[in-house]
Amino acid sequence: MLLRHARSLLFLPASNPRAIAKARVLPCDMVLLDLEDAVPDDRKEEALAHAVEALAEGFGSRLTAVRINVAGVPSHGREMVAMKTSAVDYVVLPKVENPKQVKDVFSVCQKPVIAMIESAAGVLAAPAIAAGEGCAGLFMGNNDLRQDLGIPPSAGREGLSLSLQAVILAARAVRVAVFDGVFNRLDDEAGFEAECAAGHVLGFDGKTLIHPSQVPVANQVFGPDPQAVADARRLVEAATGGAERFEGRMVESMHVEEAKALIARAEAVGE
Phi and psi torsions of 229, nearest 5°: -65, -40
195-226 pLDDT, tens digit each:
999 999 999 999 999 999 999 999 999 998 88
Please say if the pLDDT value at position 238 is more than 90: no
Q: What is the pLDDT of residue 209?
A: 98
10-57 pLDDT, tens digit each:
999 999 999 999 999 999 999 999 999 889 899 999 999 999 999 999
Please say if the pLDDT value at position 137 is more than 80: yes
CATH number of 3-222, picked from 2.40.50.140, 1.10.1040.10, 3.20.20.60, 3.30.540.10: 3.20.20.60
Rounded to whole angstroms, the Cα distance separating 58 from 70 reads 25
Question: Mean pLDDT across the stretch 74-101?
Answer: 97
Quote the DSSP letter at residue 1. -
Q: What are 113's strand-pairing partners?
A: 91, 135
Rounded to whole angstroms, the Cα distance separating 17 from 54 reads 8
**Residue 228 — pLDDT band, cuts 50, 70, 90?**
confident
Please say if the pLDDT value at position 60 is more than 90: yes
The pLDDT mean for the chain works out to 94
The model's pTM is: 0.92
The full set of domain ranges for the chain reads 3-222, 226-268
**Residue 80 — pLDDT band, cuts 50, 70, 90?**
very high
> Among 105-119, 132-146, 172-186, 232-246, which stretch is predicted with the lowest mean pLDDT?
232-246
Question: Mean pLDDT across the stretch 68-96?
Answer: 97
Tell me if residue 56 falls in helix, strand or coil: helix
Q: What is the pLDDT of residue 258?
A: 87
**Residue 244 — pLDDT band, cuts 50, 70, 90?**
confident
If one compares 271 and 91, the residue with the highest pLDDT of the two is 91
Q: What is the pLDDT of residue 77?
A: 96
**Residue 166 — pLDDT band, cuts 50, 70, 90?**
very high
Measured from the Cβ of residue 83, the count of other Cβ atoms closer than 10 Å reads 26
Rounded to whole angstroms, the Cα distance separating 70 from 97 reads 11
Q: What is the pLDDT of residue 130?
A: 98
